[in-house]
Amino acid sequence: MAAGEGPSTAMKCAALQSVFAITAFILMWIGSLNCTFIEFVDTSGTDKPMSIKFGLWFFQSWTAVFSVSGTYLFESCHYYPESIDLDDSWKTARLFSVIAFVLGIIILIGLCVSACTRDISRVTYGWEAPLYLLTGLCQGFTLFFLNSKACKGNLWVQLKGDITGVTFPDTCSISKGAKLTISAMVFFFAAGVTAFVAHKAEKKEIEDDERAGLREPLNHNV
């Protein structure tokens, strides 16, 4: 890009790519590390239906606090006990959740390092788009949790329904955590596509500048 010109297409796309990536990571973090990935909502038709929620790593719990002014219920998330038996779908969802987190951290570190060390004339790298797409794919595979026994035929939910007299469905529905996970996957894919467009645009700009004599060829000093 010649001096005095405004931001190039590559620079604009690279900035948008960073926004998508950071947004995706935040959504992934919130969506996976809570206890509201799926839920079972009672089908009794009451005005305030009761719900039971579960996450990949945590489950929802309610604590009753009694005082002179009344009884208060507080929601909290608790880690599953070691005695719980995870099926293959649940294990798969957890595995890809960890992989997505590791890739997400690598992306954030890569963004910080490249922003501090890259040549001012270069704003994109070829590895960014594949890494974003791979992270989004791994994030999508966490939805295997919807095929686990936590979602289908959950014995704890059935027991809870028998004790309280509340009717719960046999299969779960997605809750906030799953919706955030899907949103994160979309933003990772968007970051990947934007990174690809930015890198392609920058390569074209470099070629155009070289043809115009504004940039020396890479092999000039060889």
Q: What does the pLDDT look like over 145-192, one tens digit per residue?
A: 999 999 998 888 878 776 667 788 889 999 999 999 999 999 999 999
pLDDT of residue 124: 73
Asked whether residue 138 carries a pLDDT value surpassing 60, the answer given is yes
Q: Tell me the pLDDT tens digit for each residue of 71-85.
A: 666 777 889 988 888
Asked whether residue 19 carries a pLDDT value surpassing 60, the answer given is yes
Q: How confident is the prediction for the chain on average, in pLDDT?
A: 82
pLDDT of residue 157: 84
pLDDT of residue 184: 96
First to last CA, the chain: 24
Q: What's phi and psi for 52, nearest 5 deg?
A: -125, 130
Q: Which amino acid is at 177?
A: G
Question: Which tokens hold the place of 15?
Answer: 């900035």
pLDDT of residue 222: 43
Instruction: Annotate 152-189 with b (16+ C-beta within 10 A) or e (fewer).
Output: eebeebeebbeeeebebeeebebbbbbebbbbbbbbbb
pLDDT band, residue 9 (cuts 50/70/90)? confident
Asked whether residue 4 carries a pLDDT value surpassing 60, the answer given is no
3-state secondary structure of 41: strand
3-state secondary structure of 86: coil
3-state secondary structure of 50: coil
Q: How many CA atoms lie within 13 A of 3 on its CB side?
A: 2
Q: What is the DSSP letter of 77?
A: E
Q: What is the DSSP letter of 34?
A: S
Residues 6+ apart with CB under 8 A from 178: 31, 37, 38, 143, 145, 146
pLDDT of residue 126: 79
CB-based contact 203:211 (threshold 8 Å): no
CB-based contact 183:32 (threshold 8 Å): no
Q: What percent of the chain has pLDDT over 90?
A: 40
Angle between helix 9-32 and helix 176-211 axes, rounded to 10 deg: 160
Q: How many CA atoms lie within 13 A of 19 on its CB side?
A: 7
3-state secondary structure of 179: helix
Q: What's phi and psi for 123, nearest 5 deg?
A: -120, -5
pLDDT of residue 66: 64
